[in-house]
Amino acid sequence: MIAKSTFNSFILFLIIGFTFSLSHAQVGIGTVTPDGVLDLNDDSGTNTYGLVLPRVALSRTDLATPIVDPDPAATAGTLPIGTVVYNTVTTSFGSNSVYPGIYMWDGVDWINEFPKKDAEIFKQTKVGGNTLRTTTTGGYIDLPNLVNRTFTPAYSGTYKIEVSVNWGGGVVDNLGIGTDVAVMTGVFKFEFGSDPDELFPAHTWSARHGSGTNYYDIWEQTTVVIYKDLVANIPYTFSLKFDQTIAAGFQDNGNKVGTPAEDAVDGRGWLGGDIPCTVEFVFLD
């Protein structure tokens, strides 16, 4: 027969041992066979309930507050990396804005785990199947399908606007000796609502070997990125235009000569020949 004091000590030993085992084992809630460190199941047997994260009102992505470290003595008050919450509010701080959703703290910022997506690209089209030709005279010309277009953002916040253009030069003058290389220059103009126009220069080049081979329409790509704070569901009108400014060294200074065929080999350049010029809007978190 076991003495009472010995029996109590045995039970205490079992409890301590069981507690120690649990601290090193998987934990299951609603299940006795957890498949991970923590396995959550509801007790109805139908698994019709979900996990509800702490619901908080964050102010901006670069501030940990109002969330605080639960054990400041151990971590000097630094919020642990990997802290996860559900944000319930929308704020307006540019790229540091927050909106409802799940956020994870990475030690510096709150990272949205399911970011909003909104993107749309507008492409230049050919007219009658022909590439747009550029001339030195006449001022700004419209890029087909990129004039008076409208973009309506799905969200309020910062959008990246990427303007990408492709421009190839025309045929250089025939001087009959050596190799001649000439450079065309021009200016693209991006108009956006009532904002000041965005002007950016571009260039392309062509060559001729003596009176023989012509090297032309060697397109150069120019890309410009613009950031705009837009308001959801408000339509914004934009246009993309081009003005060829200098074409010395090209046939007729870069203007049309000879028979008026759209694909004529002359001094004019090709705009968006192989790859169309584009304007793309992308929402940034």
Residue with tokens 């969330």: 67
Cα distances (Å, whole numbers) of residue 149 to 134, 152, 206, 213, 260: 21, 10, 32, 40, 30
Cα distances (Å, whole numbers) of residue 201 to 18, 133, 165, 244: 75, 17, 11, 10
Q: Identify the CATH number of the domain in which residue 130 sits.
A: 2.60.120
Tell me which DSSP letter residue 61 carries. T
Number of H helices and number of E strands within the chain?
2, 18
245 in a structural domain: yes
Q: CB neighbours of 144 closer than 8 A, spacing ≥ 6?
A: 124, 125, 126, 127, 132
220 in a structural domain: yes
Measure the CA–CA gap between 265 and 257, rounded to whole angstroms: 9
68 in a structural domain: no
Cα-Cα-Cα-Cα torsion 246, 249, 252, 255, nearest 10 degrees, comes to -40
Residue 215 sits in which domain range?
Answer: 119-283
156 in a structural domain: yes
For the chain, strand residue ranges (E) read 27-29, 38-40, 55-56, 84-87, 101-105, 110-112, 119-123, 132-134, 141-142, 149-151, 157-168, 179-192, 198-209, 214-218, 220-230, 236-246, 269-271, 278-283
159 in a structural domain: yes
Residue with tokens 């944000």: 87
pLDDT of residue 263: 64
pLDDT of residue 16: 46
pLDDT of residue 37: 84
pLDDT of residue 1: 47
Reference 160, options 125, 190, 123, 119; nearest CA is 119
Q: CB neighbours of 205 closer than 8 A, spacing ≥ 6?
A: 169, 181, 182, 183, 184, 218, 220
Reference 85, options 64, 62, 115, 108; nearest CA is 64
Overall number of domains in the chain? 1
Measure the CA–CA gap between 166 and 113, rounded to whole angstroms: 36
In tens digits, what is the pLDDT along the chain, a chain of 285 residues?
A: 445 555 455 445 444 444 444 545 688 887 878 888 888 887 766 777 888 899 999 999 999 999 988 777 665 668 889 999 999 998 888 778 888 999 999 999 999 998 888 999 999 999 888 899 999 887 899 999 999 999 999 988 899 999 999 999 998 887 666 668 899 999 999 999 999 999 999 999 999 887 778 888 888 999 999 999 999 999 999 999 999 988 888 888 898 766 656 667 888 999 998 899 999 999 986
182 in a structural domain: yes
Prediction pTM value: 0.68
178 in a structural domain: yes
CB atoms within 10 A of CB 243: 16
92 in a structural domain: no
